[in-house]
């Protein structure tokens, strides 16, 4: 959370986030995602790497699924959520 705050102090055009929910308590995760959603509404570009697909898909505009260093899916979040093969094979959903 401190790293996010420090990054925002530089007034970036794009915020790159790698697993922002990792190691946080559920109540803190919700607060963090609310803050990220607010940043998105303020038209800040965000590159998000997140393993919690259900959480990330609520926030993102476009998704790439990467497995073993290769992009195995690219598309809209709703299309990914409807694709049972990709979800079960690569996301464990």
| Structure-derived torsion over alpha carbons of residues 30, 24, 11, 9, reported in degrees to the nearest 10 | 120
Whether residue 65 sits in one domain with residue 88: yes
Residue at 56 is within a domain: no
Whether residue 69 sits in one domain with residue 34: no
The H or E element spanning position 72 is strand 70-75
Residue at 87 is within a domain: yes
Whether residue 79 sits in one domain with residue 43: no
pLDDT for position 27: 87
Q: Which of 68, 66, 69 is nearest to 50 (CA)?
A: 66
Whether residue 44 sits in one domain with residue 1: yes
Whether residue 38 sits in one domain with residue 3: yes
Q: Which of 8, 47, 54, 6 is nearest to 29 (CA)?
A: 54
**pLDDT tens across the length of the chain (93 residues):** 788 888 889 999 999 999 988 888 888 888 888 989 998 998 899 999 998 888 888 899 999 999 999 999 999 999 999 999 999 999 887
Whether residue 3 sits in one domain with residue 47: yes
Q: Provide the number of structural domains found in the chain.
A: 2
Structural domain of residue 82, as residue ranges?
61-93
What residues contact residue 70 under an 8 Å CB cut-off, 6+ apart?
none
Whether residue 43 sits in one domain with residue 73: no
């Amino acid at each position: 959370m401190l790293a996010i705050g420090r990054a925002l102090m530089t007034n970036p055009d794009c915020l790159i986030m790698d697993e922002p929910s990792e190691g946080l308590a559920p109540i803190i995760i919700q607060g963090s995602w609310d803050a990220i959603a607010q940043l998105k509404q303020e038209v800040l570009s965000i590159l998000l790497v997140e393993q919690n697909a259900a959480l990330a898909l609520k926030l993102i505009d476009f998704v790439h699924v990467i497995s073993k260093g290769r992009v195995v899916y690219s598309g809209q979040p709703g299309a990914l959520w409807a694709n049972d093969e990709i979800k079960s094979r690569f996301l464990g959903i």
